[in-house]
Chain A
Amino acid sequence: MSQGGISEYKAIIQNGLWKQNPGTVQLLGMCPTLAVTTSALNGLSLGIATAVVMAMSNAAVAPVRRFIPEEIRIPVFILIIAALVTVVDLSMNAYVHKLHNVLGIFIPLIVTNCIVLARVEAFAAKNPTVPSMLDGFMMGMGLAMVLTLLGAMRELAGKGTIFSNLDLVFGPQAKTWIPQLIPDYHGFLLAILPPGAFIGLGLLIAGYNVIERRRAAAAAQASAVPAAAH
C-alpha cells in the first residue's frame, strides 16, 4: 500500500508545516485563527488541541476507511471527529481547568473547523493509517504554528508581553517565568480586538508569499544558469 517510505513522510511533513499550511495557504479554520489568537498561549494551546484531534481523527478513519459506505461517509466522519473533540474537551476541563475556561467555546468548535474534516476526507479516507495520522498531526501543527505566531504578534503589540498567563497551564509558580518585555507599556487595543486578527493574519500571509516568491525566483535563477551554460 505505502510505496513512498521516508520521502513520502517528508512530503507530508513539508505539506503540513509549509507548502499546504492550513493558516496561510489553505486558509481553512479561520474562525479559531481569528478569534482565539489574542495571546501566544491561547493560540498555541488551541493549535495543539486541534493537532491532537486531527491526528486522532485521521488515525481513526484510515483503518476503517474501506468499511464506510460512500453515501454516509460525511456523517461517520463528523461522528468520529465530534466524539474525539468531546474527549479532548472533557480531558482539558478535568486536567487544565483554567486554560479550558479561557479557550471556552472554541474547543467544542474544533468539530466545525473545516481543516479537520478536510484532512479526513482528502487524506485519511484514501491512505493507510500511519501516514494519515502523520498528515493530521502535521497539518494541525502547521495551524498551531500560525496560531501561535499570530497570538504572539497580537500579544506583543497589544499588551507588550509574550506567553503571559503561563500559570494557567503550569500553576502559580509560572507567574514569574515571563517578564513584561516592554515595561510600562500602555497597550495597543487594536491588536487585541478582532481587527488586529485580520491585520495580523494579512501580514503573515504577505510574509509567507514574500518568502515563497524569493524562493521561486532563486530556484528559477538556479535552473536558468546551468541552462545558459550549455
Chain B
Amino acid sequence: MPPLLSVSNLTVGFDHSSHFVPAVIDVSFSIARGETLCLVGESGSGKTLTALSILRLLPPSARIASGALTFKGRDLRPLGEREMQQIRGAEIALVFQEATAALSPVFTIGSQIEEVLRVHGRATRRTARQKAIELLEVVSVPEPARRVREYPHQLSGGLRQRALIAISLACGPSLLVADEPTAALDVTIQAQILDLLRDLQRRLGLALLLITHDLGVVAEMADRVAVMYAGRIVEESPAAALFHEPRHPYTRALMSSIPGGPPGSRLRAIEGTVPPLGQFPPGCGFAPRCRDRFEPCSSAPPATDLGGGRTVRCFLYPGSKDPAPQILQTSPHRRAESEQSAPQVLQISPDRRAGSSDPAGR
C-alpha cells in the first residue's frame, strides 16, 4: 500500500536579498496510515518548517525551493490556496504548541470547534453544538456540555490543549501534525496529553507526525523516528532500534549527553553550538562538533541504507551499494573509538522505575 504521506527531497528556505538561505535541505520521509513518525531535532534544525511545508503554511518569507509532497497519491505542490483549504483540517490537521496562542481568547471553545465544522460543511448551525460537545468528550474533557460554553482563559493548560486537539479532530483527518504539543505543559499534564494522542490514534486510525525536541516523548510515542540536524535528516530508524543503538554520531552524542550515570558525574557534553540559520556548515552539518569527523565530512554524506528500515547520513557507514574503501582506510581507529564510546541501551535503572511506579511501595 502506498504511504499516506510522502515527502521527497524537500528543500525549504528563505530568500535573503540576492541569495537563498536553506533551512530544510533535501528531506525525505513517508508516513503510513495509522503510524507515528517523530521528527526530532533542536531549535533551528528545520523540523517545524518541514511540517509547515506539508500544510503549505510557511511564513511569507519562506518558500519551498524543490521537492515533492504526496498525500494519498495526490501531489500537493501544485494545489492552489482554495484546494489546500479543503485539505487542511479535513485531511491533515495541525496541533500547535501553544494552545493559548492558537485559540482565540474572545470566542468560546464551542464556537471555535463549530467554526471548523461549518467551514468544512460537516455540520449545520443546529447540529454543530452537539458535535462540539461530542468532540470534547472524545478528547476526555470533563463536563463537555459546560466547557463548550467557556472561554480559553477559563480552562487549564491541559484542557486548552485538549480543546485544541478536539478542533483538529473535528473533520476526521487521517493525518495529525503535532508541533511540540506538550512542550509548554508540565510533565504530569504532558503524560496525559501523550496518552490521549496514543488513544485517539488507536481509536481513529490516525497517522501522527509528531515534532519534538524531547527524546523522552519520542521514546513513548514513535513507531519511527527521523532525527534532524542543521536542516537535514541525519538518521531515520524504527524507534526501538534507534534507542537501542543510535548510529549517527549526533544521535549518539545527544543520547549520551542526557543526565544519567552516577549522580554528580560529569555529563558527556557535545562541544560547540548548534549552527544558526544561514551558517550551516558545508558538507555534514554536525561535522564541526563531531568527534568522529574526518576528511570526507566536508562534503555532504549520502543516505546509507543500513537495513531494517534504518538509514543514516554519515561517512562512517560506507554505503552498502557503494562501498568506499578509501574511507575505511582513513578511519579505522576512529571507528573503533566511536564504537567504544557508543552508548549502551539508555534506561533508567530498574529499581528507580519500580520505585516510581509501584503504588504499594510505601
A and B together in one complex:
no
Binding site for B on A (CB under 8 A): none
